[in-house]
């Protein structure tokens, strides 16, 4: 129910309740009722894993930690490179995001071989496209593109990443 409807409902209900209360319709119970307060249960705090653990798990799945890994050579110049197996299209996307943000820095294809720069590119992409997403959505989209989270083929990738997350914890 919208705020406006609730407000209008309050305008109708409040005067009726006020009138009924002042007329004695709602009386205090004659027999005192003792209510024992329930002990407050501590809230279990689930530790949120830092994003670095997801990145570590993805690096293991993508390249077994090899910063020089080259994958999908059969795709010609569209092959994936580095610890996070970054394709040229991702470099374009990250540079597009940097341009939108007014940042003059640009990444080059050779930066894919540098783990630190690969992680920087991942973070720029993640913050822009997946600021509030869970690990599964992030990983599956990284693996399968913009529609990766809806693509059944990325479930296999997510299962691998999930297994590595469990191993890292």
14 found inside a domain: no
What per-residue confidence (pLDDT) applies to 163? 94
What per-residue confidence (pLDDT) applies to 47? 42
Ranges assigned E (strand) in 54-161? 70-71, 80-81
152 found inside a domain: yes
What per-residue confidence (pLDDT) applies to 78? 83
What per-residue confidence (pLDDT) applies to 14? 56
Burial status of residue 153 (CB atoms within 10 A of its CB: 0-12, 13-18, 19 or more) = exposed
What per-residue confidence (pLDDT) applies to 79? 87
What per-residue confidence (pLDDT) applies to 21? 53
10 found inside a domain: no
pLDDT along the chain (169 residues), means of 10: 52 54 53 51 46 95 94 82 96 97 96 96 96 94 92 93 89
What per-residue confidence (pLDDT) applies to 143? 93
The CA-CA-CA angle for residues 146, 160, 55, to 5°, reads 65
Domain count, the chain: 1
124 found inside a domain: yes
What per-residue confidence (pLDDT) applies to 140? 95
16 found inside a domain: no
87 Cβ neighbours under 8 A, 6+ residues apart: 78, 79, 80, 81
Residue 147: HSE in the Cβ half-sphere, 13 Å Cα cutoff = 3
Residue 95: which of 79, 80, 112 has the closest Cα? 112
What per-residue confidence (pLDDT) applies to 31? 55
41 found inside a domain: no
34 found inside a domain: no
What per-residue confidence (pLDDT) applies to 45? 37
What per-residue confidence (pLDDT) applies to 104? 95
55 found inside a domain: yes
What per-residue confidence (pLDDT) applies to 34? 55
Give the domain range for residue 128: 51-168
Number of other residues whose CB lies within 10 A of the CB of residue 44 = 5
| Whole-number Cα distances in Å, 135 to 50, 103, 168 | 10, 27, 14
Q: What is the CATH number of the domain that holds 90?
A: 1.10.530.10
What per-residue confidence (pLDDT) applies to 118? 97
7 Cβ neighbours under 8 A, 6+ residues apart: none
């Amino acid at each position: 129910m919208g705020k406006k409807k609730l407000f209008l409902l309050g305008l109708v209900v409040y005067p009726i309740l006020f009138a009924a209360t002042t007329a004695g319709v709602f009386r205090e119970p004659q027999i005192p009722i003792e209510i024992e307060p329930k002990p407050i249960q501590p809230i279990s705090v689930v530790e949120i894993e830092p994003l670095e653990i997801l990145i570590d798990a993805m690096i293991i799945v993508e390249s077994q930690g090899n910063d020089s890994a080259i994958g999908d050579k059969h795709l010609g110049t569209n092959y994936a490179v580095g610890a996070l197996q970054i394709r040229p299209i991702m470099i374009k996307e990250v540079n597009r995001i940097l341009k939108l943000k007014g940042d003059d820095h640009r990444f080059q294809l050779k930066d894919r071989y540098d783990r630190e720069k690969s992680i920087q590119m991942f973070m720029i992409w993640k913050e822009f496209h997946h600021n509030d997403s869970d690990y599964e959505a992030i990983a599956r989209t990284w693996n399968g593109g913009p529609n990766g989270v809806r693509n059944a083929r990325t479930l296999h990738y997510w299962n691998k990443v999930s297994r590595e997350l469990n191993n890292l914890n």
